[in-house]
């Protein structure tokens, strides 16, 4: 997804959370500052978004996420992977190692490699420090609230929409096409390094495009923040084709653990309806 399907929009936008005033040029933000920004934003997300705390769900997403992050992270960040209890299809990343994926995206994925591709794309936004570019835009923003609006559409008709959009859309809609392309490239490379098939990335893109044709409402939050076009799919497939077929054929596409994880989410009560803001 261009912006993110992983940028899955907000998602992708590794959001530079505006918790700490960063007046310095974005390139001057240290790793310590980046982690502080992420931690502050993560606290806001925990306050505003319904997160799934079920131990089996937390354990699975943490294990898969760390398998991917360990394959690519050269900075030894502490990674945190979380499932958001939202039916909307989306995912996002915060600076410093926080990655979130909506329940609605996982339930639509048909195999493990599709979810892994989304996580690897988000990880790429963090490792390539795309979030740092956005830090100056989000000073003082309520990142948790902005994310809730971006990810769930709950603010669409609310009186506070205008105010939130200033913080929210500006915050989350600015990942550049080049950032998205870079995160896609990272996603392909990272899944392969982790022993997982990269074909889940274009497969997930196609799945979302076809769902948009059938049921636009279900995925519009995602497309609002992650421009997704055929050429993004073609670019990803072209990159995958540069790897030897024998190598690709040995990579893992699906696991029983993923299917158990997905069934567990599908069996849970419907996500809470967000309170209008
Ligand atoms: Zn992205």
Task: State how far the Cα of 158 lies from the Cα of 276, in Å rounded to an integer.
Answer: 7
**Alpha carbon of 187 to ligand 1 centroid (Å):** 10
Cβ contact 180:227 at 8 Å: yes
76-113 pLDDT per residue, tens: 999 999 999 988 888 888 889 999 999 999 999 999 99
Helix, strand, coil percent content, the chain, rounded in steps of 5: 60, 5, 35
Cβ contact 155:149 at 8 Å: yes
Task: Tell me which of 55-59, 60-64, 68-72, 204-208 is least confident.
Answer: 204-208
Q: Is the pLDDT of residue 6 over 60?
A: no
**Alpha carbon of 172 to ligand 1 centroid (Å):** 10
**Alpha carbon of 120 to ligand 1 centroid (Å):** 10
Cβ contact 130:182 at 8 Å: yes
Q: Is the pLDDT of residue 7 over 80?
A: no
* Cα three-residue angle 102-108-114, rounded to 5 degrees: 85
137-167 pLDDT per residue, tens: 555 556 666 666 655 555 544 434 443 333 3
* Two structure tokens written together for 259: 């299917």
**Alpha carbon of 56 to ligand 1 centroid (Å):** 27
192-246 pLDDT per residue, tens: 999 999 999 999 989 888 888 887 777 766 666 666 677 889 999 999 999 999 9
pLDDT averaged over the chain? 78
């Amino acid at each position: 997804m261009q912006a993110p399907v992983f940028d899955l929009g907000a998602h992708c936008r590794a959001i530079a959370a505006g918790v700490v005033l960063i007046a310095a040029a974005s390139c001057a933000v240290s790793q310590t500052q980046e982690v502080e920004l992420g931690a502050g934003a993560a606290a806001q997300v925990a306050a505003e978004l319904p997160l799934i705390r079920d131990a089996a769900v937390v354990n699975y997403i943490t294990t898969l996420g760390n398998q991917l992050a360990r394959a690519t992270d050269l900075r030894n960040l502490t990674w945190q992977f979380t499932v958001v209890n939202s039916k909307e299809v989306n995912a996002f990343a915060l600076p410093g190692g926080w990655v979130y994926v909506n329940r609605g995206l996982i339930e639509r994925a048909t195999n493990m490699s599709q979810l892994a591709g989304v996580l690897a794309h988000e990880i790429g936004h963090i490792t390539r420090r795309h979030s740092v570019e956005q830090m100056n835009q989000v000073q003082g923003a309520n990142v948790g609230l902005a994310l809730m609006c971006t990810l769930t559409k709950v603010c669409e008709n609310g009186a506070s929409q205008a105010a939130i959009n200033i913080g929210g859309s500006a915050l989350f809609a600015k990942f550049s096409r080049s950032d998205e392309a870079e995160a896609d490239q990272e996603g392909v490379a990272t899944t392969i390094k982790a022993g997982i098939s990269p074909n889940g990335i274009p497969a997930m893109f196609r799945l979302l495009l076809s769902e948009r044709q059938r049921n636009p409402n279900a995925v519009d939050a995602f497309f609002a923040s992650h421009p997704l076009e055929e050429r993004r799919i073609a670019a990803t497939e072209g990159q995958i084709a540069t790897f030897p077929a024998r190598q690709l054929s040995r990579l893992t596409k699906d696991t029983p653990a993923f299917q158990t994880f997905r069934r567990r989410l599908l069996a849970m009560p419907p996500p809470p309806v967000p309170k209008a803001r």
